[in-house]
């Protein structure tokens, strides 16, 4: 199971891949839409990549609640722990 740091680093790579955002900008307090310019369609690609990378499932309904990078990291950590 990945640590918070590992999840954050993995997410940063994914967001960079999908949306071209510099990995260093992907920090816990950053808002996907307002700060990183990652809209809901790009979030779909980020979420699917995260599912594959971290071995978790993130249903569409839950994606709406992932406003910040920190929200996503916490979700993935919790989902990974429950597996």
- By the criterion CB under 8 A, which residues form the site for another protein? 39-41, 43-45, 47-48, 60, 63
Q: Give the residue among 54, 68, 78, 61 at the shortest CA–CA distance from 26.
A: 68
Compare residues 3 and 39 and give the one whose CB is closer to another protein: 39
39 is catalytic: yes
Compare residues 63 and 74 and give the one whose CB is closer to another protein: 63
Residue 33 and residue 80: Cα distance in Å, rounded? Answer: 25
Considering the candidates 34, 39, 60, 61, report the single residue annotated as catalytic: 39
The catalytic residues are 39
């Amino acid at each position: 199971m990945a640590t918070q740091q590992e999840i954050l680093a993995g997410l940063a790579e994914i967001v960079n891949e999908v949306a071209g955002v510099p990995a260093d900008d992907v920090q816990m307090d950053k808002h996907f839409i307002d700060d990183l310019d990652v809209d809901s369609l790009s979030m779909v690609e980020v979420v699917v990549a995260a599912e594959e990378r971290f071995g978790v499932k993130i249903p569409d309904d839950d994606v709406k609640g992932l406003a910040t990078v920190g929200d996503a990291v916490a979700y993935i950590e919790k989902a990974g722990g429950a597996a």
